[in-house]
Structure formats: C-alpha cells, structure tokens
Structure 1
C-alpha cells in the first residue's frame, strides 16, 4: 500500500538494483544517470549503504557491490537436495544441446536464475545464479536478450513454494523454440526418472 512506502529505503534499493549488471564499477555520474537522483542525494544514501557494506567505494571514487548482499544470498541458495536433483540434468542438457541450461524461479513479476550450466562456446547466453529480470509475458519467465532466445518449461517440486522452470537459451541462429522444446522434454523426462528426495 502507498502509505507503507518509505521513500529513503526505496531510493537505496533503487541504487542497489543498478548493480544487477555486467558492469562491475560505477561512478557517481553513472549512478545519477541510472537512477535519476541528484548526486547530493546519492552521496547520502551511498554513505549509509557503504557503512553496512552493501556497496564499497574504491580509492578512485567508483562504487562496486559490497559483501553484505553476497553474504545474504548465500543463506538462501537452493537447497542441497534441489541442487543435487537439478544440476546434473542441467549439465547433461548443456552438453547435449551446446546451449545454456538453467533453473528459473518465479516470484511476483520477476524471474531469477537459481542454477545454471554454461557451454564452452564463445557465442552463448551469459547467465549467472542470482540474475533477475522482470517478466514481460504472464506465464512465461523467459528473458529477452538481443540475438537470442530463452525457452522455458515449468516443473514442480514439493519443497519449493515458488514456481520453478527449466530453461534453455542461446543464439537464435542456433537454437529454435522447437529444438529447445525437444531438449527440455528430454530433461524433464530425466528428472521424472530421478525423483527428488522428499
């Protein structure tokens, strides 16, 4: 609800969202451009974030993500049972298809990569655990990216409260929806043969 909003907290979280990027370091000007905030406002918020180690400021004045988000994320990694069940299938899927295979979790209007297997190919979809994106099409958590496709199939798991999806992604010059669906059908069948521990 609107009355429950705390503007300073939302501004701080907006700053942290900027760091969800392949770019590792940001100048104050970069952050001002990305958030639309005045530099004076940014400096006050960044000072608090730095004090709690959510961001770190280098000697050159540029900012990077601190250790606190990583520490918190490690506490909420996929369960060992889920990882043991899914990761070998992702590795097999990547080996068979030559493309990036991942486990995607959907919460609200966002999708997040929880596990991933990446091929050795130089031309591939770069995806990492913890990477999040907004869902553009209801019922399909696929990430849109230039020159490529992501194809997803939902699966169920008794230990997880949020919907989980298997995904295969790569350059559209190599991967078609039909081909991705064929590989994902095989992977889902493999998961059925290897039931997760209850």
Structure 2
C-alpha cells in the first residue's frame, strides 16, 4: 500500500536493480541514465549502500556490486544444505574447464542464477547469483548470450526439472561435448551418497 512506502529505501533498491546487467561495473553517468536519478542523489544512495557492502567503488570510479547481495542470496532457496553440496562442484567445474559454472533455477516464467563460480580467466561470462532472465523454453533455461555459449544439464532427469547445472563462456572457446561431460560428472557426483561425494 502507498502508506507503507519508504521513498529513500525504494530509491536505494532502484539503484541496486541497475546492476542487473551483463556489465561488471557501471559509471555514475550510466547509473544515472538507468535509474533516472540525479548524480548527486545517486552518490548519497551509493554511499549508504557502500557502507553495508552492497556496492563497491573501484579505483577508476566505477561502481560494482559488493559482497552482501551474494551473501544474502546464499541464505535462501536453494537452501544452505543444497548450496553447501553444490558450490564445491561449481568451484571444481570452473577450475577444470576455465568457464563459468552455475546452478540455475526455473521459477515460473523466469530463470534465476542461484549459485555461481567464476574462472580465473578475465574473458568469461560474468554470471552472478541473483541474475534473472525470461524463460523462453521450460526445457532450455539458457539466456541470450551474444558472442557467448551456455551448456545446461538438469539436476534431475525430469521434464519439469527446475534446477539446472550450467557452464558458460565465449562461444569460440566453450566445447559443448566437453562441457556436457563435465556437467554429467558433477551431476553424478551430487547424486552419489555423501560418503563418496565429500571430496568432489
């Protein structure tokens, strides 16, 4: 309801929503264009968000998301138990393949990145927890990736699978066959008893 609105909070959240983009960092001018706020207003909002590590300002003056959004994202679905099991496999996938590994969740007509592991390479798909995009096909949760490619595998073999493992990166570098093999090994490892899964 209108009387429950807090203008300053809504402005801060609007500023955070501007970071839902493929770009890792944004200038103040780009944030002003995305939000419609004056730069002076944005600087005050970003200053408060920076103090709680929701955003960070780099040496070149550009702004990027801080650690807090990802930290909070890990505390809700898919849940701490699943996150504790899946994240080590994502870390291993990213290290072994050199590509971005992620756990995707289909939620209604949207796909959301729930967990992610980025490779050391500077040329990579910058996919972060909390990123969302429209679902075009229930059997294919991939987002549009101009110049990039993504390979997905459902966590469970089911027509209505909602959780998917993925590997993504530059189109010329990502091998579909190799990515599918790596994802299959990770899925098999996650399905194995905890005694054999402890060390991915």
Q: TM-score, normalised by structure 1?
A: 0.63
Question: Could you say if the C-alpha distance between residues 185 and 10 of structure 1 is closer, same or farther in structure 2, counting changes exceeding 3 Å?
Answer: same
Q: Which residue of 2 aligns with 1:171?
A: 170
Say yes or no: does 1:22 pair with 2:24. Answer: yes
Say yes or no: does 1:97 pair with 2:115. Answer: no
**Correspondence list, 1:113-152, <5 A:** 113-116=114-117, 118-128=118-128, 130-139=129-138, 140-152=140-152
Q: Secondary structure at the match of 1:85?
A: helix
Any conservation in 1 of the 2:24–2:64 contact (CA below 8 Å)? no
Post-superposition offset of 1:51: 6.1
Post-superposition offset of 1:136: 4.7
Deviations 1:87-130 (A, max 9, x none): 332234334433222212333424124132x33344333333x2
Q: Which residue of 2 aligns with 1:154?
A: 154
Deviations 1:8-62 (A, max 9, x none): 6766543321134511x642x4333113x2539x83x87678668677898xx98
Larger radius of gyration: 1
Any conservation in 2 of the 1:15–1:31 contact (CA below 8 Å)? yes
Question: Could you say if the C-alpha distance between residues 147 and 75 of structure 1 is closer, same or farther in structure 2, counting changes exceeding 3 Å?
Answer: same
Question: Could you say if the C-alpha distance between residues 135 and 177 of structure 1 is closer, same or farther in structure 2, counting changes exceeding 3 Å?
Answer: farther
Q: TM-score, normalised by structure 2?
A: 0.62
Question: Could you say if the C-alpha distance between residues 122 and 153 of structure 1 is closer, same or farther in structure 2, counting changes exceeding 3 Å?
Answer: same
Question: Could you say if the C-alpha distance between residues 107 and 33 of structure 1 is closer, same or farther in structure 2, counting changes exceeding 3 Å?
Answer: same
Distance, in Å, in 1 between the alignment partners of 2:32 and 2:14 is 11
Give the total of aligned pairs.
183
Question: Could you say if the C-alpha distance between residues 73 and 33 of structure 1 is closer, same or farther in structure 2, counting changes exceeding 3 Å?
Answer: same
Any conservation in 1 of the 2:74–2:80 contact (CA below 8 Å)? no
Question: Could you say if the C-alpha distance between residues 65 and 148 of structure 1 is closer, same or farther in structure 2, counting changes exceeding 3 Å?
Answer: closer
Q: Which residue of 1 aligns with 2:82?
A: 82
Distance, in Å, in 1 between the alignment partners of 2:173 and 2:71 is 37
Any conservation in 2 of the 1:151–1:181 contact (CA below 8 Å)? yes
Question: Could you say if the C-alpha distance between residues 180 and 12 of structure 1 is closer, same or farther in structure 2, counting changes exceeding 3 Å?
Answer: same
Any conservation in 1 of the 2:112–2:132 contact (CA below 8 Å)? yes
> Which structure 1 residue ranges, 5 or more long, are not aligned?
157-161
